[in-house]
Amino acid sequence: MVSRVIPVDEFDLVIFGATGDLANRKILPGLYRRVLAGQIPQGSQIIGAARSDMDAEAFRAQVRGAIEEHVNPAKIVPESVAEFLAMLDYVVIDAKGEGGWDDLKAKVRPDVINAFYFSVAPSLFGDLAERLHKRGIAGPDARIVVEKPFGRDLTSAKALNKALADHFDETQIYRIDHYLGKETVQNLMAVRFANILFEPLWNAQYVDHVQITVAETVGVGGRGSYYDKSGAMRDMVQNHMMQLLCLIAMEPPYHFDPDAVRDEKLKVIRALQSVAPNDMVRGQYLAKGDEPGYLADSEDPESKTESYIALKCHIANWRWTGTPFYLRTGKRLRARTSEIAITFKEPPHSIFDEAEGDWRENVLVIRLQPNEGMNLKMMIKEPGPGGMRLVQVPLDMSFAEALGEEADITDAYERLIMDVIRGNQTLFMRGDEVEAAWAWTDPIIEGWEARGDRPQPYDSGTSGPDDALMLMHRDGRRWREIRE
Ligand code: NAP
C-alpha cells in the first residue's frame, strides 16, 4: 500500500515543558517521525520552553538523545535528524515568572500557524494562557494544546476551562486524549459509519453487551504519590474509556466535523446512568515476588485508591436501553491489552441441533493494543465430512498486515499534533464533554468515599479481583480472557 502523507502548512510550535518526560518520550520523537515522513515544511520552528537554563544548542543535544532513545533505530536517518534539529530553538521561561516572554515573542512568527503545547502540570495552564494572551504572543488564530489530567473533579475541570476561556476561544483549545489518536480508535468511526454492515445491528435489539478492557502489566511504581490522588476511575475511566464508550455508542454525526462528532459524544455521556455500588468492583494489587504491592508503591499503607475498577454502565436512550456496557481497567494484570468487544445476540431461532456444534455468539473485537486490528468471530461449518457441525472461527484483520508499514509508524501523539496544525478539533475533547464526564464520575467517587469502601486486594498477574468476575457471571456473561 502506498503511504499518503499530506504535508501541513508551515508552523511555529512552542512546547512548554520541553525538558519533561512527555516531551522527550512522545512529543519530540513524534515530531521527528513526521519530519522523516516529509510532512513538516522546512521553514517550521519547534521552540522548547521550560525553566531549565540552556541554549538552543544544548536543547538540540537533549532532543538528539531523546530521538536516539525513543525512535526505532531503523528510522533514525542522519539527514532527517539534522533537518529536524535545525528546526529547534529554546527559550528559558518560568510559567509563573515574567522573564523570557519578550524573547519568545520575538521568535514566534505571526504570519504562520502558531500552536502552544502545554506539556506541564495543569496548575500552570492558567499562568501560561494569561501571559501568552496578555503579551500578545498567542493571537485569536493560535492553537492551545493541553494535556491530561484535565481536572480531578467537576469543580477543578470547570476552573481549568475558565482559566483557558478567559483568554482563548473554545475553537482554539485542543484537549489531548491520546487514546483518540490511536489508529484503531479512529477506525471505530470508519467501521461504523463507512460501512452499511454493522450499523443496522448496532443497537440493543442485536447487541447483547459491550466489554471495554484496558489492562496494564505495570504497577504505579515511581509515580505512586501522583497516582494515589487519582486512581483508575480518574486516570482511565473518566477520560480514555469514556471516549471509547462514546465512539461505540454515539449516533451517526451528520458530518465528520469536529462539533458534529463532539455533539454526539456529549449526548452519550449525558445519557449515562449513575452506577449502583453493586455494579462496580474496585481493586488494589498485591505484592508479587520482589515487586511491591499497591500500598507500598503508593507509600500510604492505608490508601483506599483503586488500581483496578470494573463497572457495569447503562446508556439510557432508544438505541441502548437494555444493552449493558462493562468497563474494566487495571494495573499489574495478566497482560497489556486494550480492546473493545461487541457481543451480538444469538439468532432468534436455531435450525441446527445442539449436538451440531459448540454454539457461540458473534463477537466483533476491536484491538487497540497490541497488534491493532479487528476480529469478527463467526459461526461456520466445520470443514470435512461428518455432517453439519458448527465451529466458531475468527475473521481476523491485523492493520499492520493489511496496511503494511503505514499502519504502525504513526504514534497517537504525532497524529494528534498534526491535527492541531491542520486546525482539526474532531479528535480533541470539548470543554462541555470533559465537564459532563466529570459530572457522571463525581457522584460515583463521592459514593465510595462516603461509604469508606476499601478496594479488594488482587494478585498481581491475574485478571483482577474475583468479584469482578461475578459482576458478569451474575448476568450470565463472562469477561473475555485478558491476553496479548
Ligand atoms: P515532567 O517530566 O515533570 O515535566 C514537566 C515539565 O514542565 C518540565 O519540562 C519542566 O521543566 C516544566 N516546568 C515545570 N514547572 C515549570 C514552570 N513553572 N514554568 C515552565 N516550565 C515548567 O512531566 P511530564 O511527565 O512531562 O508531564 C507533563 C504534562 O503532561 C503533565 O500535565 C502530565 O500530567 C501530562 N501527561 C504526561 C504523560 C507522560 O507520559 N509523561 C502522559 C499523559 C499526560 P523545568 O523544570 O525545566 O522548568
Distance CA 24, CA 105 (A): 24
The reported pLDDT for the residue numbered 405 is 56
What pLDDT was estimated at residue 186?
85
Around ligand 1, the residues with Cβ closer than 6 Å are 16-23, 50-52, 93-96, 119-122, 124, 147-149
- Structural contact between residues 20 and 63, judged by C-beta atoms closer than 8 angstroms: no
Indicate if 240 belongs to the active site: yes
Amino acid at 151: G
Pocket perturbation via mutation, ligand 1, pick of 51, 117, 240 by most ligand atoms within 8 A of CB = 51
Query: What does the DSSP assignment read for 206-235?
Result: TEEEEEEEEE-S---TTSHHHHHTTHHIII
Q: Which residue has the cell 471495554?
A: 212
Instruction: Calculate ∠ Cα 415-417-420, nearest 5°.
Output: 115
Packing angle of the helix pair 258-271, 242-249 (nearest 10 deg):
100
**Whole-angstrom distance, CA of residue 236 vs CA of residue 225:** 17
In the set 240, 314, 349, 473, the catalytic residue is 240
In the reported structure, the alpha carbon of residue 59 is separated from the centroid of ligand 1 by a whole-number distance in angstroms of 16
Per-residue model confidence as pLDDT tens digits over 186-245:
889 999 999 999 999 999 999 999 999 999 999 998 888 889 999 999 999 999 999 999
Closest C-alpha to ligand 1, atom 42? 22
Q: The cell 511504581 sits on which residue?
A: 221
The atom number, within ligand 1, closest to the CA of 148 reads 44
pLDDT block averages, 10 residues each, the chain of length 484: 76 98 96 96 96 98 97 95 98 96 97 97 97 97 95 97 98 95 87 94 98 97 90 97 97 95 98 96 96 93 97 98 98 96 92 73 91 88 84 83 60 93 96 98 97 96 96 96 88
Report the nearest-CA residue for atom 38 of ligand 1: 22
Per-residue b or e along 421-432, where b marks 16 or more CB atoms closer than 10 Å to that residue's CB: bebebbbbbbbe
377-434 pLDDT tens trace: 998 888 888 788 888 898 887 777 776 655 555 688 999 999 999 999 999 999 999 9
The bridge status of strand 363-369 relative to strand 373-381 is: antiparallel
Q: Which amino acid is at 81?
A: V
**130 C-alpha vs ligand 1 centroid, how far in Å?**
18
Nearest atom in ligand 1 to 122's CA:
32
Radius of gyration of the chain (CA): 24
Q: What are 381's strand-pairing partners?
A: 390
> How remote is the CA of residue 132 from the centroid of ligand 1, in Å?
18
Measured over the CA atoms of residue 70, residue 75, residue 76 and residue 82, the dihedral's sign is: negative
Ligand 1 mean position to 121 CA, how many Å? Answer: 6
Q: Which residues are annotated as a binding site for NADP(+)?
A: 51, 148
